[in-house]
Structure 1
Amino acid sequence: MGCAGSSRSKGDETGKKVRKPKPWKHSEPITRAQLVQMRDEFWDTAPHYGGRKEIWDALRAAAEADISLAQTIVDSAGIIVQAADLTVCYDERGAKYELPKYVLSEPTNLTGEN
């Protein structure tokens, strides 16, 4: 037997539903190409800052999916969502994963130029 507080109950898993991030604005207008480059750089380097690669991969898949699929990915990977917009998450071992808003949604000042 274990302590009742040592693991998540089914009710805890549904406590934080994934939602779209609130609108945000980059410090200066950026193009889609610049946004894609920033995202690629983040995902390429993120695993080097700690945590498990499979969790980073799941977070990337969730960030690039629609909300209902993102929820399924997060639940399946055992990711604990602290911030419903996925900016702060934990894995089951307690490692923290922080995602910048630019990998989760587009800024309000995205320009049409390349």
Structure 2
Amino acid sequence: MGCAGSSQSKGDETIKKIRKPKPWKHSQPITRAQLAQMRDEFWDTAPHYGGQKEIWDALRAAAEADLTLAQAIVDSAGVIVTSADLTTCYDERGAKYELPKYVLSEPTNLIRNS
């Protein structure tokens, strides 16, 4: 038997287990370099959308980590995950953080270099 605190409480909606985003398609086929540039541009400008820089840094680290580590990062940063794929989150002060799918996963029409 597990202890009472070992699983998510049904009444606690602020804790969501992180999962991979659903497959998505970019408007045009893009290369890995173009995707990296889009991601860099987003993360460079993200703090200007509001919220705390520390939370943006934690979200970037979570977006670039595997799911287990990502869960630990958002939990330790006090991020409230409302979309399990990390597209919509809040900090403890109520600031909203929205992440585009392109920073969380690769598109289905990514051009792979041979």
List 4+ stretches of structure 1 deviating above 4 A: none
Aligned length: 105
- Counterpart of 1:57, as a letter, is D
SS at 1:84 equivalent: coil
Secondary structure at 2:92 match in 1: coil
Identity of aligned residues (%): 84
Q: Residues 59 and 74 of structure 1 are in contact (CA less than 8 Å); yes or no, is this contact kept in structure 2?
A: yes
CA distance in 1 between counterparts of 2:84 and 2:42 reads 20
Query: What is the Cα-based RMSD across aligned positions, in Å?
Result: 1.7
More helix by share: 1
Give, in whole Å, the separation in 2 of the partners of 1:17 and 1:94: 19
1:105 shift after superposition: 0.1
Q: What CA distance in whole angstroms lies between the structure 2 residues aligned with 1:61 and 1:46?
A: 13
Match of 2:97 in 1: 97
In structure 1, the gaps of 5 or more residues are 1-9
d(CA) in 2 for partners of 1:73 and 1:14? 15
Structure 2 gaps, min length 5: 1-7
Structure 1 counterpart of 2:90, one-letter code: Y
Q: Give the whole-Å Cα distance in 2 for the aligned partners of 1:13 and 1:57.
A: 24
Taking structure 1 as the reference length, what is the TM-score of the superposition? 0.87
Question: Secondary structure of 1:97's match?
Answer: strand
